[in-house]
Amino acid sequence: MAEPLPQCYLNGEYVALRNARISPLDRGFLFGDSVYEVLPVFGGRMFLFCEHFDRLARSLQEIRLENPHSHAAWQDILERLIARNGGGDMYVYVQVTRGMEFGRNHAFPAVVKPTVFAMASPLPVFTEAQRAAGLSAITVEDFRWGRCDIKTTALLANVLMKQQAMDAGANEAIIIRNGQVLEGASTSIFIVRDGVLITPPNSHRILPGTTRDATLSLATGVMPVEIRDVPLAELRAADEVWISAATRDVLPITCVDGSPIGTGLPGPAYLRLSESFENLRQRLAGTPAYTPA
């Protein structure tokens, strides 16, 4: 993984990431009382800005923490951060915690002053060889909490699942609950069967993926789309499996638990969709990230 870019934003100031400091009494540190967003930047422009900041607003509302900024203010903060880090292609990470009080109490502090942090990092690189061969995944049983629709930084279960995948020499862990496929440890999931694109429905058990929604929009009208439960057996028998995430677009999974998916190579539906994704990126390049109503 490449190092983050040098400048970050912390509580109203731009500072060197290496010098940024928060209190050990911050509730993000003590309780994971905190939510976040990750969004890609192409040519200096944030991609799917409104979708990400609508989701951040929802995450904050669900944890009963007031959004510290309007969409327009968030845009301004992040555009400055991107410019201070030289623009171009990168991704931006934003985190809002319920701040700190002098003590450790589960209940909310009487006065909440959120901690607002943002940093930028280079986008992960997927080599041509990886795109050509596809990635691999293992399946794991779900042992996360019951509100996976909130993008909280309390990610220990996802961390352990991802490490299990790494230990097995795989790229992603696909999460299964009661025999149904939910999502990856840090990705949404799709299968293709007999030309139909299928993805599990949003619920409290999965994060509503921004890239998932963009993928569904691109696929609609090009191929039949079904949003429904996906049993594990159907994942194993799929012609194609894809994962999606903001920093990775859509990527093909060609091997699950050591067995090939379909032909064992990225399939024709994936190749078509990834071309549409690239076209979408180019269409959005140069348009404003957000226009206040």
Interface with ligand PLP includes 192 (CB under 6 A)? no
Residue with tokens 């990856």: 184
State which residue, 100 or 191, has the beta carbon closest to ligand PLP: 191
Neighbours of 3 (CB within 10 A): 8
Amino acid identity for residue 285 in this structure: A
In degrees and rounded to multiples of 5, residue 62 shows phi and psi of -65, -30
The least CB distance from residue 211 to ligand PLP, in Å, is: 3
State which residue, 188 or 254, has the beta carbon closest to ligand PLP: 188
Q: Which residues contact 107 (CB under 8 A, 6 or more apart)?
A: none
**Binding pattern for the stretch 144-173 against ligand PLP, x by CB under 6 A and - elsewhere:** --------------x---------------
Interface with ligand PLP includes 244 (CB under 6 A)? yes
Q: Is position 207 annotated as part of the catalytic site?
A: yes
Q: Measuring CA to CA, how many Å separate 248 from each of 58, 108, 126, 142, 259? A: 23, 36, 8, 23, 23
The least CB distance from residue 30 to ligand PLP, in Å, is: 22
Q: Is position 183 annotated as part of the catalytic site?
A: yes
Interface with ligand PLP includes 97 (CB under 6 A)? no
State which residue, 214 or 255, has the beta carbon closest to ligand PLP: 214
Q: Is position 113 annotated as part of the catalytic site?
A: no
State which residue, 100 or 170, has the beta carbon closest to ligand PLP: 170
Contact criterion met (CB below 8 Å) for 215 and 244: yes
**For the CA atoms of the chain, what is the radius of gyration?**
19
Interface with ligand PLP includes 75 (CB under 6 A)? no
* Binding region for ligand PLP (CB under 6 A) out of 26-34, 76-84, 115-123, 209-217: 209-217
State which residue, 121 or 186, has the beta carbon closest to ligand PLP: 186
Instruction: Report the alpha-carbon distance of residue 51 to residue 53 in Å, rounded.
Output: 6
Interface with ligand PLP includes 246 (CB under 6 A)? yes
Counted residue by residue, the chain has a size of: 293
Q: Measuring CA to CA, how many Å separate 54 from each of 9, 71, 214, 221? A: 20, 8, 14, 26
Instruction: Report the alpha-carbon distance of residue 225 to residue 217 in Å, rounded.
Output: 10
Contact criterion met (CB below 8 Å) for 267 and 241: no
Q: Is position 3 annotated as part of the catalytic site?
A: no
* Binding region for ligand PLP (CB under 6 A) out of 11-19, 71-79, 105-113, 202-210: 202-210
- Please state whether 289 falls in left (phi above 0), alpha (psi between -120 and 50) or beta: alpha
In degrees and rounded to multiples of 5, residue 101 shows phi and psi of -135, 165
Interface with ligand PLP includes 205 (CB under 6 A)? no
Interface with ligand PLP includes 59 (CB under 6 A)? no
End-to-end Cα spacing for the chain: 39
Instruction: Report the alpha-carbon distance of residue 153 to residue 139 in Å, rounded.
Output: 22
State which residue, 166 or 237, has the beta carbon closest to ligand PLP: 166
Interface with ligand PLP includes 209 (CB under 6 A)? yes
Interface with ligand PLP includes 245 (CB under 6 A)? yes
Instruction: State the catalytic residues.
Output: 36, 151, 183, 207
Give residues in contact with ligand PLP (CB under 6 A): 38, 158, 183, 186-188, 207, 209-212, 244-246
